[in-house]
Structure 1
């Protein structure tokens, strides 16, 4: 008999399964479950975007594209960056079109991380950062954030975490799972810590268009930060295009050439049909984003109000489409709370510690679902809390 523990990579064996998928898979086996667990828009991809993808198939545009992505799409992304950030990225060699934002994060980490390099990760944060750092041979270093500080990375916590081995900082704002954002003044304070270092910033801005308070600011806009920042973005959240698997990375050409090299050998190119749809999304999708964001905002305010009325402390999120209430008052751990809520009331939410140890005592609830869905879920959560 083959011993697979000796066959499989030690790095792969060190990676734990996603805490999100665990509850999603469990919920899928049960009847009458209301799932508030997966961060996926309940909106369909806008029709004109779907039509552009269909038209590309009808015209037989099923070929490989450049490794960098269709030139038309990169031109549109460059124009979007100019409008959104007032920053110019050369569409020829500073933008790589990827298979979703996740591939962009993976490639960026592999491009800059050598064995033993430390990657700073503010937590709670999206579940992929730590395993992708490990798979790249790096050492993930968690920087805890707390509700009392708005779940934001502070310059003091950042400075204390930096060592001679620090290679990169992941900046995940707007944040999944907390919904926290960082404003210009706060980002300037982070930039002040980084300027005299050789640390690269991976700024994951996949939720940038889902900001409900003020305007989104990228750290790449702060003086001296563009040269050390890789901006990660994509179509999944803003344009309701999760299944199209389309994202991008943009940054200094010296870094982007290496990212494209990894993408070239591992993927070749993002799906051609999705790229043609992405062109249409950027050209005509602004009104769709405004509509979806306004609907999310209604759900956001409803859910925060409902949870607080149940007696749960709830940080008010200003970005993405998640709330991250504290359940410490129940006396249950995050895992116990989620298991019992699922078994007793058939509502699926995600334990906060799935997003890092500092998420313990919280749960993540997605409001990327209809109001009817959320109302029924809140009714069941209220009934569950009354039984404790």
Structure 2
């Protein structure tokens, strides 16, 4: 009976057989290091590896067992052998690459939280700033990987040559673990872990706060485009729908916002009969406050305002009540999630949402009003956790 030739170790000395499996193990290590088999991918079954490398199945089995012992791969019963995410090299601290769009606005407190969490764990960080430039950001990520980063914390720029879906898919394919900071996937198919502010809840709570102060016609004022504007708007509109209230909306691009734009916004709010507005972000609320003054109106008596971001809200001419994302906690949580991923690569992936709080100042008039009970048609969420994981 004839058949195809097959690898055999018959007649081969133990020393040669031992050399063969070590050589195969070395080859598989190099392929894993070069990204041929990225973290999370499944190796071919042992007979396929044997055919591909001209080795016996027993040689393949011994080579893979060596990689399992080194925690480069793991066998999963009934599923196969999977490549594990690289762990920090023993004897040195983990090196974490951090990429944010700005180090001057919004992100300093996020970075402080990241720094505290990494320092407590004995990890090191290398910081890069993208300047909201997607191409620059891609280059920064490549530089961090070349520098030997064990993991990445990224606040990606989702406006640019690549669509958000394509860019997030690129990040999901990185050879090291990554956690998105103040960004999250746009599809259930997105697999990159993330920690972000629950901006929908922020917009929702801002409306509810103004309604409890007696306002029944509330405007939404937005700076666009922004990854935050859309979820804030969704939360705002859900709240007014649940309450059965009318609303009005004004949008303008960042470069269009000026005293003239604020005057147009104010005119639209007044024409619609709005007595209050939720403004994304602080600068837009401050411009609207100045427009009210020019028109002889008073904030909060004639127009109550709640800003969103709480970056410069406290230094406005009328200190602004503001929805305040938990920036410091955001940084700490994202860093902790990445460190956990490096330590436990097999854990389920997580998306963490942190609910923002409202910092009450002068612009909403809360100090002059008796807070009304929550309307019956507003859903209560007092028992909801501040961080939702799924």
Taking structure 1 as the reference length, the TM-score comes to: 0.29
Higher RCO (CA-CA < 8 Å; seq separation 6+): 1
Larger Rg: 2
